[in-house]
């Protein structure tokens, strides 16, 4: 059976970004693997930062073959966890970016027994025991910022054929995208948990504020949510690539700033906002006032400076010709640079009062050609990677 792995990866990656529930996200990934790739069962071990161990959160497949959810907990001393998390054993995983039961068996009993190292032999024997207990033929790690976040467990294929390298490469890429999406989903879960504890009304106010502009501007329906999702995806990828050193609080502040980036348009007359044609210089000057108006509107909320800078500076340009302050290069806060790219991309690929939507390809080319003049090169590098893989 022919499987277009690139197409499947693009489809899965694009869907991941919009899911905010980690359990639902993992469930959909596992279901896709079982149904489309014809394995008898699949599951995922997920790291629980609260309890500092890994647990089988989701398992799908044939009755009697799949492993019950919460079946067991795995500490960092578990052989499978240690194999993927301890750099001393990275050479055992090698370029396959996965471990396959048959390969490990050959490592132990084959002629080239890794220099007959007793500790490695003991570790690999433990890995075999664990994989057999979990009915797993292959295991694929998922890393986030070089930390082992999860392990994808794959059962035997229905046709009993071995996993080819192309399949393992697909699972590795899928696991990498899943790790980023899971962290993104965990962020939203943490936000909800925090809101439930002591800031429920505060977050609700932010979301309501963010939605008010869409009630006024009929052409931007869904724009705020998409810009927020794109912004978070870009920031997560920048963090994963270690181009951005941030804390989880940064993502919350980016989330709020992106939600409210256009809040200043509340103060713009609708006849200008929804004008079906080219704006006059006077009308354009009014439009250009919305970032500063936005900052003024949210001032009573006493938001963090990252949130405020995302609102005030998301129309600044790297060459200094943007507004409202004409900031240039590194003087533009990174939050604003991220929102600016996400905002411009979504604006281009959606219908506006004065023009029809551009194609994705045209919008991407425009962003690429304006790198360093309008858009921050660091942000564009990540944006192009996500766009190429159709994550956004």
Domain 217-388 class in CATH: mainly alpha
DSSP reduced 3-state for 67: coil
Neighbours of 107 (CB within 10 A): 18
SS (H, E, C) 110-128: CCCCHHHCHHHHHHHHHHH
Q: 178 falls in which pLDDT band (50, 70, 90)?
A: confident
Separation of alpha carbons 156 and 369, rounded Å: 47
Instruction: Give 161's contacts (C-beta < 8 A, 6+ positions apart).
Output: none
For the record, the structure tokens of 167 come out as 């399949």
Q: Residue 269 pLDDT more than 60?
A: yes
- Across the range 142-160, mean pLDDT stands at 88
Separation of alpha carbons 371 and 387, rounded Å: 15
Q: Which pLDDT value is given to residue 310?
A: 95
Torsion sign, CA atoms 366, 370, 374, 376? positive
Q: Residue 203 pLDDT more than 90?
A: no
For the record, the structure tokens of 392 come out as 């956004």
Which of 49-58, 87-96, 284-293 is the least confident region?
49-58
Q: 64 falls in which pLDDT band (50, 70, 90)?
A: very low
Place of tokens 């370029």: 95
- Across the range 130-158, mean pLDDT stands at 89
pTM for this prediction: 0.60
Question: What backbone phi and psi angles, to 5 degrees, belong to 50?
Answer: -70, -40
Separation of alpha carbons 262 and 210, rounded Å: 8
Torsion sign, CA atoms 355, 356, 361, 367? positive
Where residue 222 falls (left for φ over 0; alpha for ψ -120 to 50; beta otherwise) is left
Instruction: Give 331's contacts (C-beta < 8 A, 6+ positions apart).
Output: none
Question: What backbone phi and psi angles, to 5 degrees, belong to 57?
Answer: -85, -35
pLDDT in tens, 300-357: 778 889 999 999 999 999 999 999 999 999 999 999 999 999 999 999 999 877 778 9
Where residue 342 falls (left for φ over 0; alpha for ψ -120 to 50; beta otherwise) is alpha
- Of residues 181 and 150, more confidently modeled: 150
- Across the range 134-149, mean pLDDT stands at 88
How do the residues of the chain divide into helix, strand and coil, expressed in percent and rounded to 5?
60, 10, 30
Share of the chain above pLDDT 70, in %: 81
Which of 82-86, 110-114, 187-191 is the least confident region?
110-114
Q: Which pLDDT value is given to residue 65?
A: 46
- Across the range 248-264, mean pLDDT stands at 89
- Equal CATH topology for 5-178 and 217-388: no
In sequence order, the β-bridge partners of residue 140 are: 152
Q: Residue 81 pLDDT more than 90?
A: yes
Domain 5-178 annotated CATH 3.30.450.40: yes
Give the residue extent of every domain in the chain: 5-178, 217-388
């Amino acid at each position: 059976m022919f499987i277009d792995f690139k197409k499947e990866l693009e489809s899965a990656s694009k869907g991941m970004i919009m899911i905010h529930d980690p359990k639902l996200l993992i469930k959909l990934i596992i279901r896709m693997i079982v149904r489309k790739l014809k394995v008898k069962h699949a599951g995922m071990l997920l790291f629980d930062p609260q309890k500092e161990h890994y647990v089988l959160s989701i398992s799908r497949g044939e009755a009697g073959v799949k492993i019950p959810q919460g079946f067991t907990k795995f500490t960092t001393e578990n052989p499978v966890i240690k194999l993927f998390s301890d750099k001393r054993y990275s050479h055992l995983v090698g370029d396959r970016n996965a471990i396959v039961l048959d390969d490990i068996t050959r490592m132990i009993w084959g002629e080239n027994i890794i220099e007959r190292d007793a500790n490695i032999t003991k570790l690999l024997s433990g890995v075999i025991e664990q994989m057999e207990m979990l009915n797993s033929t292959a295991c694929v790690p998922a890393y986030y910022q070089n930390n082992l976040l999860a392990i994808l467990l794959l059962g035997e294929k229905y046709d009993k054929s071995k996993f080819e390298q192309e399949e393992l490469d697909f699972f590795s890429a899928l696991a990498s995208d899943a790790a980023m999406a899971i962290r993104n989903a965990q962020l939203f879960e943490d936000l909800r948990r925090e809101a439930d504890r002591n800031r429920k009304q505060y977050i609700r106010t932010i979301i309501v504020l963010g939605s008010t502009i869409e009630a006024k501007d009929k052409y931007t329906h869904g724009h705020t949510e998409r810009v927020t999702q794109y912004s978070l995806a870009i920031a997560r990828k920048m963090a994963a690539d270690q181009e951005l050193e941030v804390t989880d609080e940064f993502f919350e502040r980016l989330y709020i700033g992106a939600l409210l980036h256009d809040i200043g348009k509340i103060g713009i007359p609708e006849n200008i906002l929804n004008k079906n044609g080219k704006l006059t210089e006077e009308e354009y000057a009014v439009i250009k006032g919305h970032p500063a108006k936005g900052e003024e509107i949210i001032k009573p909320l006493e938001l963090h400076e990252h949130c405020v800078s995302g609102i005030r500076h998301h129309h600044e340009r790297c060459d200094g010709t943007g507004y409202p302050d004409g900031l240039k290069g590194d003087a533009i806060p990174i939050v604003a640079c991220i929102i600016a790219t996400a905002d411009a991309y979504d604006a281009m690929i959606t219908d506006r009062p004065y023009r029809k939507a551009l194609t994705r390809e045209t919008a991407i080319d425009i962003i690429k050609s304006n790198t360093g003049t309008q858009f921050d090169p660091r942000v564009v590098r990540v944006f192009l990677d996500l766009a190429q893989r159709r994550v956004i």
